[in-house]
Amino acid sequence: MPTKRLPNSANLDHLKHQAKDLLRDFRHGRMSAFQRLREFHPLFASVSDDSMQKQTCALSDAQLSIAREYGYASWTRLKAVIAERHHEQLALSHNDRLPNGPFKQALDFMDAGDEARLSAHLARHADLVHERAFFEGGNYFQNPTLLEFLPQNPTRNGIMPENALAIAKILLEAGAKHNQTALNETLMLAASGRVCREAGLQTALLQLLCEHGADPAAGMQSALAHEEFAAVRTLISRGAPLDLATAATLDERDALKQMLPEASEPDLQLALSLAASAGRAEVVQILLSSGAEPNRYNPPGGHSHCTPLHSAVANNRLETVVVLVEGGADLNMTDIHHSATALDWALHLKHQEIATYLGALD
């Protein structure tokens, strides 16, 4: 689930009220509260909606979830950020949030595609390739190494140097190839990133990272969720498994049907969320017939702030919307961030055909 961004006007009293509201919604059995706790509180991560009602949730649990929902590690840290107004830095680019020093200088050389200066700089600072930046206020890209900056995901200046592969090789040979976590994270960022694809570098970068030890499976779910299907097929060619979610999203129906008898409930729900987003109407129908539930929030990795119906509306998939509605999708369920129904989304996005269809059912 994307984190919320703290507004400049954020204050502690307002955040305390948010935590109390979350606790109240949990005690009233609201699925949106269950989803938020599942996403942001580690103790609730694997708890199903049905089991959630048997759990105990204290105000401190709600406060931790609120803090993590805004991209901060703890309620204590969130209070300090508000007191010191550090959250105002979120308006700055990631580059500008870095302190001046060797790390930022290396990033400048990378962005400029300056191979000679980067190589010399890394030679002078032997451990720099292993260092990590520290960013708060987001749910990914919180502790990136230099290598992880390369795919421009999140977007920093919207372009990659033409010699980005050469830059990647310099970083890898300087030691980045020995950091499995950074390799896998960079793979995920490249596989799901628009800038990398638009620069024509996505496939080659994915191949290079896999050649240096990145796990191709690490980028699959994010690539599927962002419909980077060329990246998905590249990762499969490098050994990533064709699981249920992948088969559903790519409309690989024969493989899907073979896997369905052994599919778990979480696997079914993830497959449904991704297939709905991709507009695989017939696959969605198969999944619903196999027990997938249209009235649960999408699981983590599948746009978990909304339902399969919202996902289909967001991408203007009218046929899939019809299948979900006929399969029992609740038109009154709201997303978590805006408390908006699927019809609200269709109207806001100006998806007129879907809005007309849903409006006639209201």
Structural domains present in the chain: 12-91 (no CATH), 94-241 (1.25.40.20), 259-361 (1.25.40.20)
Task: Tell me what the pLDDT averaged over the chain comes to.
Answer: 94
- Per-residue pLDDT reduced to its tens digit, 325-350: 999 999 999 999 899 999 999 999 99
pLDDT at 2: 63
Q: Is the pLDDT of residue 136 over 70?
A: yes
Mean pLDDT for the stretch of residues 63-70? 95
Residue type, 184: N
Mean pLDDT for the stretch of residues 28-42? 93
Mean pLDDT for the stretch of residues 269-292? 97
pLDDT at 61: 96
**3-state SS string over the chain?**
CCCCCCCCCCCHHHHHHHHHHHHHHHHCCCHHHHHHHHHHCHHHCCCCHHHHCCCCCCHHHHHHHHHHHCCCCCHHHHHHHHHHCHHHHHHCCHHHHCCCCHHHHHHHHHHHCCHHHHHHHHHHCCCHHHCCCCCCCCCCCCCCCHHHHCCCCCCCCCCCCCCHHHHHHHHHHCCHHHCHHHHHHHHHHHHHCHHHHHCCCHHHHHHHHHHCCCCHHHHHHHHHHCCCHHHHHHHHHCCCCCCHHHHHHCCCHHHHHHHHHHCCHHHHHHHHHHHHHHCCHHHHHHHHHCCCCCCCCCCCCCCCCCCHHHHHHHCCCHHHHHHHHHCCCCCCCCCCCCCCCHHHHHHHHCCHHHHHHHHHHC
* Whole-angstrom Cα Rg for the chain: 22
Q: What is the pTM of this model?
A: 0.90
